[in-house]
């Protein structure tokens, strides 16, 4: 029998086990937070160059608000932007607001996706496409780098 001023080892073991169980239960029932949502960045003639310069791999959606296929592509590109971040960076250019950019990159129809690696145009995708086809094309044109992921 232990003295009153000494802790009871059996009681200490029970207390430790219960605290461990409570901690495990809290951890198991804690909600898993979804990753932060990433959406394409709106670019204009002022921000276009700096955006390309600050990211290795960029997908630029050239669109217009009146374009039905462009509007249909918006949620697909939003989902891909979240899924493929931070390796690929997504941006949008409104063709109506930025005719100089449209002319500079020789965009003849919308939607058009421009794929850039280190500021150089490496591919363009014309028209609305399903998510799987876009992902395949991104991987072919902008393969993952072999070093640590870009942040």
* 8 A C-beta contact, residue 43 and residue 54: no
Neighbouring residues of 118: CB distance < 8 A, sequence distance ≥ 6: 56
Q: CATH: 2.60.40.770, 3.90.1150.10, 3.40.30.10, 3.40.470.10. Which one for 41-141?
A: 3.40.30.10
> pLDDT for 118-142, tens place per residue?
999 999 999 999 999 999 999 999 8
Q: What pLDDT does 113 receive?
A: 98
- Catalytic residue ranges: 67, 70
Residue 97 has pLDDT above 60, yes or no: yes
Model confidence pLDDT, tens digit, residues 19-65: 888 777 665 555 666 666 788 999 999 999 999 999 999 999 999 99
Tell me the pLDDT of the chain averaged across its residues.
Answer: 88
């Amino acid at each position: 029998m232990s003295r009153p001023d000494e802790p009871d080892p059996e009681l200490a073991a029970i207390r430790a086990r219960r605290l461990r169980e409570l901690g495990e239960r809290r951890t198991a029932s804690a909600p898993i937070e979804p990753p932060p949502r990433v959406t394409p960045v709106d670019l204009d003639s002022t921000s276009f160059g700096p955006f390309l310069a600050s990211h290795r791999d960029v997908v630029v959606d050239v669109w217009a608000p009146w374009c039905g296929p462009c509007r249909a592509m918006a949620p697909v590109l939003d989902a891909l932007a979240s899924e493929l971040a931070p390796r690929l960076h997504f941006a949008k250019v409104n063709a109506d607001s930025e005719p100089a950019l449209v002319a500079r990159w020789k965009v003849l129809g919308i939607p058009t996706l421009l794929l850039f690696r280190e500021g150089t145009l490496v591919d363009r995708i014309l028209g609305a496409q399903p998510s799987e086809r876009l992902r395949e094309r991104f991987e072919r044109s902008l393969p993952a780098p072999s070093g640590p992921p870009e942040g």
